[in-house]
């Protein structure tokens, strides 16, 4: 699972930080950003703002997105590729 924040929608309430301070941070500008392995990803609107979420933080990140008043937290979930019984890739069919 990966997560990012649309800083244009962020209201700076900090509820995301309350739910998961290992993934979300508020910077001096009063806007929330995501962090990965302790490093703040500060590339608003760019791919550099998409953070991988540790499985142990997934539930907290989902809860943060649900309570966010700005509705600015976006989650991307990777769907595993389907593999046919014969071992071939179903997506290629």
pLDDT in tens, 57-76: 999 999 999 999 999 999 99
Find all residues with CB under 8 Å of 14, minimum gap 6, and list them: 26, 32
**Domain-wise residue ranges, the chain:** 2-76
pLDDT of residue 15: 96
Give residue 53's pLDDT band: very low, low, confident or very high (50, 70, 90).
very high
Alpha-carbon gap, residue 18 to 12, rounded angstroms: 12
Classify 2-76 by CATH class.
alpha beta
Contact 66, 15 (CB under 8 A): no
Give residue 26's pLDDT band: very low, low, confident or very high (50, 70, 90).
very high
CA diameter of the chain:
55
Distances (CA, A) of 74 to 4, 6, 65: 5, 8, 7
Contact 23, 73 (CB under 8 A): no
């Amino acid at each position: 699972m990966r997560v990012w924040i649309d800083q244009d929608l962020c209201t700076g309430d900090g509820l995301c930080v309350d739910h998961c301070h290992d993934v979300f941070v508020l910077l001096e500008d009063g806007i929330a950003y995501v962090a990965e392995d302790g490093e703040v990803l500060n590339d608003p609107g760019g791919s550099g703002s998409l953070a991988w979420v540790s499985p142990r933080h997934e539930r907290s990140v989902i809860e943060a997105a649900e309570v966010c008043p700005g509705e600015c937290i976006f989650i991307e979930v990777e769907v595993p590729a389907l593999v046919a019984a014969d071992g071939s890739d179903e997506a290629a069919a």
